[in-house]
Amino acid sequence: MKRFIIFCSFILLASCATNYNQSHYSVSDEYELINVGGDALELFPKSDALYASQYIPAKIVEIAWNDAYILAKQMEQTDDPNNPDASLTNQAKENYWIIDLKNNRRFGPYTKKQFDEQKQEFRISEQLQLQNVKTYFTKAKQES
C-alpha cells in the first residue's frame, strides 16, 4: 500500500511539472506580458504602481519594442453572454497602442491608419515591426 501511495504521488507531481505554463514574459526592462487566462495577454508595468494605468488590456496578439517605444496590437474582447467567466474575441475590432518608455505615456487605442500616422509623427523606426506574440514566446523559450 505504501508503494502504491508513493507511486501515485510521483505520477501526480510529474504531471504537474509537465503542465507548467509561464504566466508572464518580459518586454523591455519595465513591462511584462501577463497571461490573464487562456491565450489572453495584457501588458503591465513591472514595478511602479503609479503607472499601472499605462497597461494595455487583453488580448494582445502582436508586439514590438526598442529602448524608446513599445508597440502592440490588441484584439478587442467582449464578455461571453453564455459564460460570465469567459470572454469572446472580436476579430473585427483591432486596436493599436504605443507606449513612450522615456515619458511613461500610453497612446491609443488607434485604428491601423491612426497608428501608422502616429508612428510617423513620433519618428518610430520602420525597422520596429509588430510580430506575433507566439513568435516572441518561441524565441524567449529558446533563450532560456
Cell of 15: 504531471
Residue 66 falls inside a structural domain? yes
- Domain region containing 73: 22-143
53 CB-side CA count, 13 A: 3
State whether residue 5 is helix, strand or coil: helix
Residue 70 falls inside a structural domain? yes
* Number of domains comprising the chain: 1
pLDDT tens track for 40-99:
899 988 876 665 678 899 899 999 999 999 999 999 877 667 776 666 665 668 999 999
Mean residue pLDDT across the chain: 79
β-strand 24-27 against 31-37: which pairing, if any? antiparallel
pTM of the complete model? 0.75
Judged by average pLDDT, the poorest of 34-38, 56-60, 66-70, 137-141 is 137-141
Residue 82 falls inside a structural domain? yes
Residue 6 falls inside a structural domain? no
- Tally of CB atoms within 10 A around 46: 14
